[in-house]
Protein backbone atom coordinates (compact mmCIF):
# COMPACT_ATOMS: atom_id res chain seq x y z
CA UNK A 1 0.00 0.00 0.00
CA UNK A 2 1.33 3.42 -0.90
CA UNK A 3 0.66 6.43 1.31
CA UNK A 4 -2.20 8.60 0.10
CA UNK A 5 -1.10 11.62 -1.92
CA UNK A 6 -1.41 14.78 0.16
CA UNK A 7 -4.37 16.94 -0.78
CA UNK A 8 -3.79 20.64 -1.50
CA UNK A 9 -6.25 23.48 -2.11
CA UNK A 10 -7.25 23.93 -5.76
CA UNK A 11 -6.21 27.49 -6.52
CA UNK A 12 -6.36 27.39 -10.31
CA UNK A 13 -10.09 26.85 -10.91
CA UNK A 14 -11.77 29.98 -12.24
CA UNK A 15 -15.51 30.64 -12.40
CA UNK A 16 -16.81 33.18 -14.94
CA UNK A 17 -20.04 35.15 -14.91
CA UNK A 18 -22.62 33.19 -16.91
CA UNK A 19 -22.73 35.57 -19.87
CA UNK A 20 -18.96 35.36 -20.12
CA UNK A 21 -19.11 31.55 -20.00
CA UNK A 22 -21.54 31.53 -22.91
CA UNK A 23 -19.30 33.89 -24.86
CA UNK A 24 -16.20 31.80 -24.10
CA UNK A 25 -17.94 28.58 -25.17
CA UNK A 26 -18.94 30.17 -28.51
CA UNK A 27 -15.47 31.62 -29.03
CA UNK A 28 -13.73 28.33 -28.37
CA UNK A 29 -16.08 26.42 -30.61
CA UNK A 30 -15.53 28.77 -33.55
CA UNK A 31 -11.76 28.63 -32.95
CA UNK A 32 -11.71 24.82 -32.95
CA UNK A 33 -14.10 24.55 -35.91
CA UNK A 34 -11.36 26.16 -38.03
CA UNK A 35 -9.17 23.08 -37.46
CA UNK A 36 -8.84 20.81 -40.43
CA UNK A 37 -6.55 17.90 -41.02
CA UNK A 38 -4.16 18.68 -43.86
CA UNK A 39 -2.03 16.29 -45.87
CA UNK A 40 0.34 18.73 -47.58
CA UNK A 41 2.95 20.44 -45.46
CA UNK A 42 5.85 22.83 -46.13
CA UNK A 43 9.30 22.24 -44.68
CA UNK A 44 9.19 25.61 -42.88
CA UNK A 45 10.81 25.39 -39.45
CA UNK A 46 8.70 25.65 -36.30
CA UNK A 47 10.29 26.87 -33.03
CA UNK A 48 10.80 23.97 -30.65
CA UNK A 49 9.41 26.05 -27.78
CA UNK A 50 5.95 25.89 -29.37
CA UNK A 51 6.10 22.11 -29.55
CA UNK A 52 7.35 21.92 -25.96
CA UNK A 53 4.48 24.05 -24.65
CA UNK A 54 1.92 22.00 -26.59
CA UNK A 55 3.39 18.77 -25.21
CA UNK A 56 3.15 20.15 -21.68
CA UNK A 57 -0.50 21.01 -22.38
CA UNK A 58 -1.08 17.44 -23.62
CA UNK A 59 0.69 16.05 -20.57
CA UNK A 60 -1.88 17.78 -18.34
CA UNK A 61 -4.60 15.43 -19.61
CA UNK A 62 -6.56 13.40 -17.08
CA UNK A 63 -5.46 9.77 -16.92
CA UNK A 64 -6.31 6.49 -15.21
CA UNK A 65 -5.09 6.63 -11.59
CA UNK A 66 -3.20 9.79 -12.67
CA UNK A 67 -0.42 7.55 -14.00
CA UNK A 68 0.02 9.54 -17.23
CA UNK A 69 0.51 6.46 -19.42
CA UNK A 70 1.92 8.21 -22.50
CA UNK A 71 5.23 9.04 -24.09
CA UNK A 72 5.83 11.52 -26.89
CA UNK A 73 8.79 11.12 -29.23
CA UNK A 74 9.49 14.30 -31.19
CA UNK A 75 11.31 13.71 -34.45
CA UNK A 76 13.05 16.40 -36.51
CA UNK A 77 16.06 14.38 -37.72
CA UNK A 78 15.65 14.02 -41.52
CA UNK A 79 17.21 10.54 -41.54
CA UNK A 80 14.81 9.24 -38.88
CA UNK A 81 11.85 10.88 -40.61
CA UNK A 82 12.87 9.21 -43.85
CA UNK A 83 13.17 5.78 -42.23
CA UNK A 84 9.68 6.25 -40.78
CA UNK A 85 8.39 7.20 -44.22
CA UNK A 86 9.94 4.12 -45.84
CA UNK A 87 8.49 1.78 -43.20
CA UNK A 88 5.06 3.47 -43.16
CA UNK A 89 4.82 3.36 -46.94
CA UNK A 90 5.66 -0.37 -46.90
CA UNK A 91 2.67 -0.99 -44.61
CA UNK A 92 0.41 1.35 -46.55
CA UNK A 93 1.39 -0.32 -49.82
CA UNK A 94 -0.03 -3.61 -48.59
CA UNK A 95 -3.00 -1.85 -46.96
CA UNK A 96 -4.14 -0.09 -50.13
CA UNK A 97 -3.33 -3.03 -52.40
CA UNK A 98 -5.11 -5.97 -50.81
CA UNK A 99 -5.12 -5.86 -47.01
CA UNK A 100 -7.89 -3.26 -46.62
CA UNK A 101 -11.41 -4.52 -47.29
CA UNK A 102 -13.23 -2.71 -50.12
CA UNK A 103 -15.66 -1.17 -47.62
CA UNK A 104 -12.76 0.55 -45.84
CA UNK A 105 -11.24 1.76 -49.12
CA UNK A 106 -14.68 3.13 -50.11
CA UNK A 107 -14.88 5.02 -46.81
CA UNK A 108 -11.44 6.54 -47.42
CA UNK A 109 -12.07 7.47 -51.07
CA UNK A 110 -13.47 10.97 -50.28
CA UNK A 111 -10.24 11.79 -48.40
CA UNK A 112 -8.05 11.03 -51.40
CA UNK A 113 -5.45 9.14 -49.36
CA UNK A 114 -3.07 6.58 -50.84
CA UNK A 115 0.13 4.77 -49.93
CA UNK A 116 2.38 7.76 -50.66
CA UNK A 117 3.35 9.66 -47.52
CA UNK A 118 5.75 12.45 -48.60
CA UNK A 119 4.68 14.57 -45.61
CA UNK A 120 6.68 12.22 -43.37
CA UNK A 121 9.86 13.60 -44.99
CA UNK A 122 8.69 17.18 -45.48
CA UNK A 123 6.92 18.32 -42.30
CA UNK A 124 9.30 19.82 -39.71
CA UNK A 125 7.96 17.68 -36.85
CA UNK A 126 6.66 14.17 -36.46
CA UNK A 127 5.40 13.33 -32.98
CA UNK A 128 5.05 9.62 -32.28
CA UNK A 129 2.71 9.05 -29.35
CA UNK A 130 3.06 5.82 -27.38
CA UNK A 131 0.58 4.39 -24.87
CA UNK A 132 2.30 2.74 -21.93
CA UNK A 133 0.93 -0.44 -20.43
CA UNK A 134 3.11 0.02 -17.32
CA UNK A 135 4.71 2.91 -15.44
CA UNK A 136 7.89 3.08 -13.42
CA UNK A 137 7.21 5.00 -10.22
CA UNK A 138 9.77 7.30 -8.60
CA UNK A 139 10.40 4.62 -5.95
CA UNK A 140 11.39 2.17 -8.68
CA UNK A 141 8.24 0.03 -8.65
CA UNK A 142 6.81 -1.07 -11.99
CA UNK A 143 3.02 -0.75 -11.89
CA UNK A 144 0.19 -1.46 -14.31
CA UNK A 145 -1.49 1.50 -15.99
CA UNK A 146 -5.27 1.84 -16.30
CA UNK A 147 -7.52 3.11 -19.12
CA UNK A 148 -4.40 3.48 -21.21
CA UNK A 149 -6.20 4.03 -24.53
CA UNK A 150 -8.70 6.51 -23.13
CA UNK A 151 -5.96 8.45 -21.33
CA UNK A 152 -3.63 8.60 -24.31
CA UNK A 153 -6.50 9.48 -26.64
CA UNK A 154 -7.46 12.42 -24.44
CA UNK A 155 -3.82 13.58 -24.33
CA UNK A 156 -3.63 13.39 -28.13
CA UNK A 157 -6.83 15.41 -28.46
CA UNK A 158 -5.39 18.05 -26.19
CA UNK A 159 -2.13 18.05 -28.16
CA UNK A 160 -3.94 18.53 -31.47
CA UNK A 161 -6.03 21.30 -29.90
CA UNK A 162 -2.95 23.02 -28.45
CA UNK A 163 -1.08 22.85 -31.77
CA UNK A 164 -4.10 24.25 -33.63
CA UNK A 165 -4.43 27.02 -31.04
CA UNK A 166 -0.75 27.89 -31.57
CA UNK A 167 -1.37 28.22 -35.32
CA UNK A 168 -0.02 24.92 -36.62
CA UNK A 169 -1.64 22.28 -38.77
CA UNK A 170 -1.65 18.57 -38.01
CA UNK A 171 -2.32 15.24 -39.62
CA UNK A 172 -3.29 12.31 -37.46
CA UNK A 173 -1.53 9.48 -39.21
CA UNK A 174 -2.04 5.85 -38.25
CA UNK A 175 0.06 3.54 -40.38
CA UNK A 176 -1.07 0.07 -39.45
CA UNK A 177 0.57 -1.90 -37.95
CA UNK A 178 2.84 0.68 -36.33
CA UNK A 179 5.22 -1.54 -34.38
CA UNK A 180 8.09 -0.44 -36.65
CA UNK A 181 8.05 2.79 -34.61
CA UNK A 182 9.32 0.96 -31.50
CA UNK A 183 12.30 -0.28 -33.45
CA UNK A 184 13.17 2.96 -35.21
CA UNK A 185 12.68 5.09 -32.10
CA UNK A 186 14.16 2.65 -29.59
CA UNK A 187 11.08 2.43 -27.39
CA UNK A 188 10.49 -0.54 -25.07
CA UNK A 189 7.89 -3.26 -25.67
CA UNK A 190 5.58 -1.94 -22.93
CA UNK A 191 5.06 1.20 -25.03
CA UNK A 192 2.59 0.66 -27.88
CA UNK A 193 2.54 3.10 -30.78
CA UNK A 194 -0.75 5.01 -30.56
CA UNK A 195 -0.50 7.44 -33.42
CA UNK A 196 1.89 9.50 -35.44
CA UNK A 197 1.13 13.21 -35.54
CA UNK A 198 2.51 15.24 -38.44
CA UNK A 199 2.98 18.90 -37.48
CA UNK A 200 3.84 22.02 -39.44
CA UNK A 201 2.51 24.65 -41.82
CA UNK A 202 0.15 23.70 -44.64
CA UNK A 203 1.34 24.48 -48.19
CA UNK A 204 -0.03 27.69 -49.69
CA UNK A 205 -3.47 27.16 -51.17
CA UNK A 206 -3.86 23.74 -49.55
CA UNK A 207 -7.16 22.03 -50.30
CA UNK A 208 -9.12 19.82 -47.92
CA UNK A 209 -12.04 17.48 -48.58
CA UNK A 210 -15.43 19.16 -48.44
CA UNK A 211 -16.71 17.30 -45.42
CA UNK A 212 -19.23 18.64 -42.95
CA UNK A 213 -19.35 18.12 -39.21
CA UNK A 214 -22.45 16.42 -37.91
CA UNK A 215 -25.03 18.72 -36.31
CA UNK A 216 -25.54 18.62 -32.56
CA UNK A 217 -28.69 16.49 -32.71
CA UNK A 218 -26.73 13.80 -34.58
CA UNK A 219 -23.84 13.67 -32.10
CA UNK A 220 -25.55 14.28 -28.77
CA UNK A 221 -28.65 13.29 -26.85
CA UNK A 222 -30.00 15.38 -23.99
CA UNK A 223 -32.27 13.46 -21.63
Exposure string for 7-32, b = 16+ CB within 10 A, e = fewer: eeeeeeeeeeeeeeeeeeeeeeeeee
Mask of contacts with ligand IYR, 175-194, x by CB under 6 A? xx------------------
Which region holds residue 143: left if phi is over 0, alpha if psi is between -120 and 50, else beta? beta
Of 74, 108, 166, 184, which one interacts with ligand IYR (CB under 6 A)?
108
* Residue 174 beta carbon to ligand IYR: minimum distance, rounded to whole angstroms: 5
Of 27, 94, 97, 174, which one interacts with ligand IYR (CB under 6 A)?
174
* Residue 156 beta carbon to ligand IYR: minimum distance, rounded to whole angstroms: 14
Length of the chain: 223
Counting contacts by CB under 6 A, is residue 40 touching ligand IYR? no
Q: How far is CA 146 from the centre of its chain?
A: 19
- The nearer residue to ligand IYR, 87 or 92, going by C-beta atoms, is 92
Residue nearest to ligand IYR (CB): 113
Residues of the shown chain interacting with ligand IYR in the complex, contacts defined by CB under 6 A: 92, 95, 108, 111, 113, 173-176
Amino acid sequence: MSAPAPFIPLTTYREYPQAEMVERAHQFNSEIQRRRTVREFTDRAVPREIIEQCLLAAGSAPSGAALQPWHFVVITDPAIKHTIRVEAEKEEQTFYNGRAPQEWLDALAPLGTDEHKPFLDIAPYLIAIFEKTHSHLDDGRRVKNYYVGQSTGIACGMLITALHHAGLATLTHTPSPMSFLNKILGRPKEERPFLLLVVGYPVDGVKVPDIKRKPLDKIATFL
